[in-house]
Amino acid sequence: MTDRFDIVLRGVRLNHGAGVDFGIRDGRFSAMSSGLGRCDNDIDCDGKLLLPGLHDHHIHLFATAARLQSVDLTQCTHPDAIAAALRAKAAQAGPGEWVRAIGCDERASGIPDRGQIDGWIADRPVRIQDRTGALWMLNSAGLAQLGDGPWPDAVETDPSGVPTGRIWRGDAWLQERIGSRPPSLSALSRELARLGVTAVTDAGANNGPKEAALLGAACRQGDLLQRLTMMGREDLPDSEPYLTGPVKLLYDERDLPDPASIAARIEAARRLGRNVAAHCVTEAELLVYLAVLDMAGGVRPGDRIEHGSMIPQALMQDIARLGLIVVANPGFIARRGDRYLAEMDAGDLPDLQRLASLQASGIPVLIGSDAPYGPVNPWVSIRAAANRQCPSGALLGAEEAIGPWSALQLMTAQGDLAVGAVADCILVDADWVNQLAGDADPDPVAMTIMGRYAHLGPIYSRGR
């Protein structure tokens, strides 16, 4: 036996090459050859592929963790089904506890107000998030928890000034009024590790000092195992447990702000030495972003378009010339593709969740899940990028498909598998590409190793 290595991965393959051994010590790959000496964590990899760990480039950590504790209404297609799901959750909750639900689809019940939700549950506070994450809907008991007005613009009111129960883009204000503590990230982090995710970018537009303290503590305490990059506001502090990402610009086509105010935020980000990243789901939101970047002095390397859900052909040359990065969410095709086909104008479909044409135009592309609004499983997004398949099996924008290996690279963390590199890596089944052809959510990860925890062994190992 030798203590030369913390872990030896024996007989792994790199792409389609011959088997080789990797030695890991002090969080980095320290040797690569055949016949390395044995150690206490000596792992026979049986010819599995060794890949860099995955990076979810756009996720909302606390919202995704909260989803694990919430009623998921995604499959509820009738008001009676929504009511039944809410009442079942209420029966499990303690007296006076909130009933929290997510994924409410307006096709099932319209956009409920306080009265409609009271008809479902009236004796305890209820808050329901719509499928987009932009809207919260509360019953009367929930509104009573918020205290008295005056109400911010996010709170919809009737002609008499009484709240209807609908709160648009009011997450920060709502959390402040409710005073709820964020959920633990431990279960989510371990699920991400099981799926091969070793790095995440939290895309919260409201991330500031409070969120930095919470997420930083989660990193230090081991509740969040992944390497973390945080987007957020201008007052997001730099801190050792995470990397400070772009200033996040969030605005909606339904209520666009004065362009000068957005340009002022970009100028403030430049003074802080930070990039910017804008929520661009619609063409109008994208056009506003391109215009305000010009007003604020232009693009800096590393500026991003988040989602890029609708990108017309006519704008791709400008995006390429500017050097903007597009962070796409192809997982939505796997979850909502049939809805897009049924409800969108046929002429708009070619612009939806582009990938191949962006790359052909020289535009850098990354992939994020947008969980909890998109699928947290990164292999679902990789599969959708490769096959553009909707839940029904119909194809949406087949011409925008990219190969599975190309899709994998768009969700791969920075780094490589060379000696000296940080040992954030995964072992996957050799037939992982074939697994993408099945109907079940892909699950090809056999082992996940994170360099800073390598002295403890794998973070996840199938069957252990």
Token reading at 321: 């010339």
Model confidence band, residue 1 (pLDDT cutoffs 50, 70, 90):
very low
At residue 299, the 3 state secondary structure works out as: coil
Q: Which has more pLDDT, 223 or 239?
A: 223
Q: How far apart are CA 172 and CA 304, in angstroms?
A: 23
DSSP symbol at 400: G
- The string of pLDDT tens digits covering residues 138-193 is 999 999 999 998 999 999 999 999 999 999 989 889 988 987 778 899 999 999 99
The β-bridge relationship of strands 276-280 and 304-307 is: parallel
Closest CA to 62 of 196, 206, 194, 246: 206
Q: How far apart are CA 246 and CA 302, in angstroms?
A: 8
- The string of pLDDT tens digits covering residues 400-456 is 999 999 999 999 977 778 899 999 999 999 999 999 988 889 999 999 999 999 989
Q: How far apart are CA 27 and CA 13, in angstroms?
A: 20
The β-bridge relationship of strands 460-461 and 445-449 is: antiparallel
- The string of pLDDT tens digits covering residues 341-360 is 999 999 999 999 999 999 99
- The string of pLDDT tens digits covering residues 103-113 is 899 988 899 99
Model confidence band, residue 3 (pLDDT cutoffs 50, 70, 90):
low
Range with lowest mean pLDDT among 45-54, 89-98, 141-150, 220-229 = 89-98
pTM for the structure as a whole: 0.86
Position 440, amino acid: A
Decide: 253 and 282 in contact? Cβ < 8 Å. Answer: yes
The residues near 354 (Cβ < 8 Å, ≥ 6 apart) are 308, 311, 316, 326, 328, 397, 400
